Amino acid sequence: MRAKGRKRRLLGAALITIGAAVVALPFVLPAYAAWRQAQLASARPAWRAARDTARAGGASALASPAAPAGAAVAVPAQPQVGQVAAFLRVPKIDLAATVLQGTADALLASAPGHEPQSVMPGSVGTSVIVAHNLTFFRHIDLLRPGDRIVAGTAQGVFTFEVSHSLRVAADSPLPNTPWPSIALVACYPLNALYYTPQRFVVEAKLVSASPAPAESLASLRPSPPQFLATLPSDLAQVPLWLSDTHLEVGQATFSGGPSLKLSASGASWSLVAQSIRMFAASLAALARPGASPLAGFGPGPALVGFAGPGPWRVEPEAPLDIAVQLNPSGVPVAVSVSTAAARVRGDGVARVAPYRVDLAVNGATLQLTRVYSL
């Protein structure tokens, strides 16, 4: 009974840790995420060597779902924090990503994270994988019972079948199942850019386990693009990330085409971060004296609603919302960052009005096209 009780104990600390780690997106690390995912792909040979070493020693962590609840099961050692823990594939939402050990914000900036207080995928119990809602787990709400989740570790490749999903409070415990299972966890709402008091959880049960030949993970090599905002030279080195400006953020929406590829690769993180950076740069530019505050942002951005010369002081009083326009292939072509209310002062004028910046996306470059407040 004591062993059974241990297996059924709740992973309360897991969601508490997740709640602390996913408080806000650390937009100071947008380009790092893409670079890190590409770098992690090169760790696969070491991952393979670790797997072969484990097999040579006779250790096995392949916990069959048919194994009796009280059976002795070899438990694999946990990787060190920051090391590769697994490779994750969710075909339904086009997700293929490297999973790091740990849920610290700096780690989640580049990859989903495995909660160290939970078991490794394939072992008896609930293995918890965490990611930011805006990126890798943006579309986990599309998963339905019967959909597959594949996790590859040094012990093998494990296929799980989704059983259900649910919304829970950030401090709610997760049940630690008496069979091998996996839980994908993200902040809810899944399009929120701010701290949320709820979590969206997808739970799945192991249906098959097999050795992991090298070729089985070939499709898991991620290559998310890095986006870059075109800024005037005098603003390019100014700290304008969200963590520097303390702007209040709301939600991100995607329209015009499928966003699965963009979010599942983690690239949406970089796109949104650079868009907010461009918004902050527009505020800094308007605060400079002169008749052409947008000079240096590229060819001909329009300035609407600012009749006289600067400086203009614009102070957002409502959260920033981000709208990403995608083409039919799911490639971003335009972004708007707006606030429903901003206090605008300058040239003897003082008003509260909406404020918005429009950006064109050309490949991986963001170009300012319009700034207006009416």
Asked if 270 and 228 touch (Cβ cutoff 8 Å), the reply is no
pLDDT in tens, 299-311: 889 999 988 777 9
Is 212 in the same domain as 307? no
Give the number of domains in the chain. 2
Mean pLDDT of 56-66: 35
Which residue range(s) make up the domain with 63? 2-220
Is 66 in the same domain as 144? yes
Structure tokens at 93: 């939402």
pLDDT for residue 151 is more than 50:
yes
- Return the CATH number at 164: 2.40.260.10
Q: Which residues contact 250 (CB under 8 A, 6 or more apart)?
A: 192, 193, 194, 318, 319, 320, 321
Given 220, 244, 264, the domain boundary residue is 220
Look at residue 74 in the predicted model and tell me its pLDDT.
57
Given 169, 200, 220, the domain boundary residue is 220
- CA gap 102, 114 in Å, rounded: 5
Mean pLDDT of 213-242: 70
* Class of residue 35 by CB neighbours under 10 A (exposed 0-12, middle 13-18, buried 19+): middle
DSSP-assigned beta bridge partners for residue 370: 302, 358
pLDDT in tens, 200-224: 999 999 999 987 654 444 444 445 5
Is 244 in the same domain as 183? no
Is 155 in the same domain as 246? no
Is 59 in the same domain as 164? yes
pLDDT for residue 138 is more than 50:
yes
